[in-house]
Amino acid sequence: MNIPAKPDPLVNNWARPFWDGTREEKLLIQKCSDCEQYIFYPRMACPHCFSENIEWVEASGKGTIYAFTVVESNAPSPFLEDMPYVIAVIILEEGVRMLSNIVDCNPDDLQCDQSVEVTFEKMNDEFTLPKFKPVKV
């Protein structure tokens, strides 16, 4: 069976700085310069006050697991070799939510509200993916 390669992320012009940041192992998110709220996913205007006065800032990379699922079966796809893998919604310290994977863990040991921190996984010369791993205590 011919399994295609993993797809690159789809990138629009206003998300480009996010991917430029991850390539340098920096987790960048937007912040509104008018209402000072953090913003993720990348947008052209602030979803809170509709200002277009938005800057990019580096997030701490720390957060907690809001929700997660463990993928243990899958149709033939480029992700088969990763199973079991964890898909999670992470709440960053800055308050925004990010969908990613939890890696470097035993999926059976994960819990909601658990502390995690960002780690970077290079896909190719253009894309590095931000993933999260449990904070060792």
92 touches 63 (CB < 8 A): yes
Q: Of 37 and 64, which has the nearer Cβ to Zn ion?
A: 37
Single out the residue of 27, 29, 46, 88 in contact with Zn ion (rule: CB under 5 A): 46
* Cα distances (angstroms) measured from residue 103 to each of 68, 106, 129: 12, 8, 12
Q: Of 49 and 83, which has the nearer Cβ to Zn ion?
A: 49
Single out the residue of 8, 9, 25, 35 in contact with Zn ion (rule: CB under 5 A): 35
Task: Give yes or no for residue 29 binding Zn ion (CB under 5 A).
Answer: no
Site string for Zn ion, 50-89 (x = CB under 5 A): -x--------------------------------------
Q: Of 41 and 127, which has the nearer Cβ to Zn ion?
A: 41
CA dist., res. 37 & res. 31, Å (int): 6
Give the binding range for Zn ion (CB under 5 A) out of 8-16, 25-33, 66-74, 125-133.
Answer: 25-33
Task: Give yes or no for residue 48 binding Zn ion (CB under 5 A).
Answer: yes
22 touches 128 (CB < 8 A): yes
The set of residues, in sequence order, having a beta carbon less than 8 Å from that of 50 and lying 6+ positions away, is none
Smallest separation, CB 111 to Zn ion (Å): 33
Residues 69, 74, 79, 82: is their CA dihedral positive or negative?
positive
Structure tokens at 67: 């929700």
φ, ψ at 81 (rounded to 5°): -70, -15
Which residue ranges make up the site for Zn ion (CB under 5 A)? 32, 34-35, 46, 48-49, 51
